[in-house]
Structure 1
């Protein structure tokens, strides 16, 4: 057992590592217009910068979680920090948009390593009476990373350069890795000796890649072909996982557990509806309303603090009343937010999009903790780790799909043109269409979470 000092240091190091990905994601969302100006990139290329990160994280989260059980959580977590270091430097020095996209994909791989192991490490090294506080610190660090990222992205894009954003993670990653190496003795590998399901890993990553890339290429023939190939790969994965002795994901248990399956479906649909909003609002505020990066970053900073201040309350609320009712209230607020955005224009009073943004972020705060409670409540105790990894994968898949939908809309409207003063009307048309699509998806998420509540 680690000493109290070693436990505190390790908790701090894990929290540092968990804050890095949110920091970079939030900062880059605000700085997206500055990136577009430097590379003369159209909205499709800009959309791939965050999408590449979400795609990689979704592809590799469960595989790295499983490998952490086999080879050790400390090893995978530390390797993730090293990948962060390299990816951040590559992004800071990227000479072209495609190289920046590649650097963000690499950062997503590192994020999968960190996401898959951070909660597990804290759960394994801490006594039961300290775990809740440590997990709370870790979640707070993630929200803190978002808040600081919004602030830094706005200030650096305005006063300096968006590239400076990526000079922050390397020293933080080094500090976290150094603390882990010095104060976390031994290794956490509960499934040591088990063979990794290499074929299952290959199938799962291929399936996610084909489905998400195919979605982003629609309505082109290549997109339909990639989607068809992805569905075939998914079928092969399901068959393989039901027959192998050491599956990457226990499909049979999941198929038998209807409440767990529906709760994860709700996360997927809701994340698809509500995850691209920061990217879209960043474009709207800076191109349509002509806010500078400082003001846009400040608005996102305030809304992220609103979310952070509410998640603790909504988590406690879902302990007192049915979690699915709280989650449904969150989905309803998100629906109201997107409904208000469906007809926005350059002359719309600025209070309307700001109020809609507040409704969306408050909806997220009301939706996420209760639906995670539903997932854990529907899982058997022996499946807590798998359920946790699965719901996080559904969230990341939804984020990737949300951005893919935006990419399709921009591709159809812009046809490769960059965002300029002349093409702002096309941007506004795209935003109106996307907000309407996300409104419909939010309604669908409300229905799915209702079904999950009935099945629980």
Structure 2
């Protein structure tokens, strides 16, 4: 299909635009919902623990389906799976119109996670295929920019929608734009982009993968209760069973030996796990901090959080172009260290911290992550064979989602241990601040691990 895009360069960029629309809307929905959490808690009478599961349940669904969705995409075509994912995202977003309890909202968020797995498990692979003959770093940079623009606009749009139309509008408002993305894909992405040769889905591996993820993270969220500990141990056992099964399966979800031997890709995954682990709880924690402890409105807090994602969006394409010319590990590692400096600043915040100080910390976070993400993805996807691009894309998105899920599960655990199952009131503000500071300290440690993994992956151009 590269000849088609060579002869029709406009179609190449329209294909990229169609992917960018969806990769803009999904993170926009995620970040906008974080701003709406206090309003959701008020209307649905949700306690602190259930409220923290609103972003977490989405991640759980995304993780469970990420690898199986990628393998299905390699078998039946990445374009088909992508379209199904976007349509499912639209349907699950519209469910919120009839939801009247926090439990059903969590179900809706879980289903949205399944849909996002199909979108992110194929989107990067389609972009990599369309731009296989050049400008891959730039294209991936623009894809990353769409993600960061979604994160950028999410808090601001979410705050405005929550105040004007109510929190439910945060869910249904993106639907018309998502349907536009499907139409653009159908018209401009030519071919299905599937792997050649005999391919089969590993059903047993898919089931084991979903089971160990569900048991492990659900169990971790409720430690030290006995039932949750049993669930956690069950998840660990299922994980090792999954690894053993993958080693003997004829068509495994992941070829573990190949992954272990690909140092560039495996270290890129590790750095992605820890950087996204540090990144994801920021919106959730800052939303609670600014609205509860600082007394800001949803729109005001969204505008302040906007700074971080805005810097990320501006730097991502620039970092992508740099990674086409210079070693990605140098750019990405620098980003890790700058990102860590932002968390070092956030360790000192309290109820009296100035907005200028908070803004400076958020700017450091935005600058660091903007320098990290695209070079890291460019290095990883450049080390993947063409017939495994879907699974490579899914693994990188899985590393992102796994980092998100692990860190958010720890936040849920912290909330459970420190605050308990009670609605957030002024009496709990000191405990809330304690949870926020511990979470930011963990995030700082994650960035140091990510920096080491990023730097130690080696030079891409000598690989």
Deviation at 1:41, TM superposition (A): 1.8
- Select 1:338's aligned residue among 333, 340, 343: 343
Tell me which residue corresponds to 1:315: 320
1:61/1:389 contact within 8 Å kept: yes
Tell me which residue corresponds to 1:437: 442
Deviation at 1:306, TM superposition (A): 0.9
Query: Matched residues in 2 for 1:185 and 1:450: separation?
Result: 38
1:171 paired to 2:176: yes
1:241/1:250 contact within 8 Å kept: yes
Query: Matched residues in 2 for 1:446 and 1:453: separation?
Result: 13
Deviation at 1:292, TM superposition (A): 0.8
1:376/1:387 contact within 8 Å kept: yes
Unaligned runs of 5+ in 2: none
Tell me which residue corresponds to 1:32: 37
Tell me which residue corresponds to 1:295: 300
TM-score between the two structures when normalised by the length of structure 2: 0.90
1:73 paired to 2:78: yes
Query: Matched residues in 2 for 1:422 and 1:65: separation?
Result: 47
1:63/1:201 contact within 8 Å kept: yes
> For 1:35-114, what aligned pairs fall within 5 Å after superposition?
35-114=40-119
SS, match of residue 348 in structure 1: coil
Deviation at 1:298, TM superposition (A): 1.1
Return 261-270 or 176-185, whichever deviates more. Answer: 176-185
Over residues 370-397 of structure 1, what are the superposed CA-to-partner deviations in whole Å (9 max), with x where a residue is unaligned?
A: 3224423554565544333212111110
Over residues 117-160 of structure 1, what are the superposed CA-to-partner deviations in whole Å (9 max), with x where a residue is unaligned?
A: 22333444567357666555443333332233222101112233
1:306/1:362 contact within 8 Å kept: yes
Deviation at 1:82, TM superposition (A): 1.8
Q: 1:180 to 1:319 in 2, by over 3 A?
A: closer
1:262 paired to 2:267: yes
Tell me which residue corresponds to 1:448: 453
Query: Matched residues in 2 for 1:451 and 1:8: separation?
Result: 34
Query: Matched residues in 2 for 1:180 and 1:256: separation?
Result: 35
Q: 1:210 to 1:263 in 2, by over 3 A?
A: same
> For 1:134-173, what aligned pairs fall within 5 Å after superposition?
135-173=140-178
1:388 paired to 2:393: yes
Deviation at 1:35, TM superposition (A): 1.2
2:208/2:242 contact within 8 Å kept: yes
Tell me which residue corresponds to 1:274: 279
SS, match of residue 422 in structure 1: helix
1:91/1:104 contact within 8 Å kept: no
Return 43-52 or 185-194, whichever deviates more. Answer: 185-194
Deviation at 1:57, TM superposition (A): 1.3
Query: Matched residues in 1 for 2:39 and 2:319: separation?
Result: 36
Query: Matched residues in 2 for 1:174 and 1:334: separation?
Result: 35
Deviation at 1:225, TM superposition (A): 1.9
Tell me which residue corresponds to 2:410: 405
Query: Matched residues in 2 for 1:364 and 1:235: separation?
Result: 32
Query: Matched residues in 1 for 2:459 and 2:20: separation?
Result: 36
Query: Matched residues in 1 for 2:379 and 2:126: separation?
Result: 23
SS, match of residue 295 in structure 2: coil
Deviation at 1:454, TM superposition (A): 8.7
1:93/1:163 contact within 8 Å kept: no
Query: Matched residues in 1 for 2:369 and 2:107: separation?
Result: 29
Q: 1:246 to 1:227 in 2, by over 3 A?
A: same
Tell me which residue corresponds to 1:360: 365
Over residues 231-288 of structure 1, what are the superposed CA-to-partner deviations in whole Å (9 max), with x where a residue is unaligned?
A: 2212122222122221111111112334432332222122222321111111111110
TM-score between the two structures when normalised by the length of structure 1: 0.91
Deviation at 1:36, TM superposition (A): 1.6
2:308/2:365 contact within 8 Å kept: no
Query: Matched residues in 2 for 1:86 and 1:319: separation?
Result: 38
Unaligned runs of 5+ in 1: none
RMSD of aligned Cα (Å): 2.6
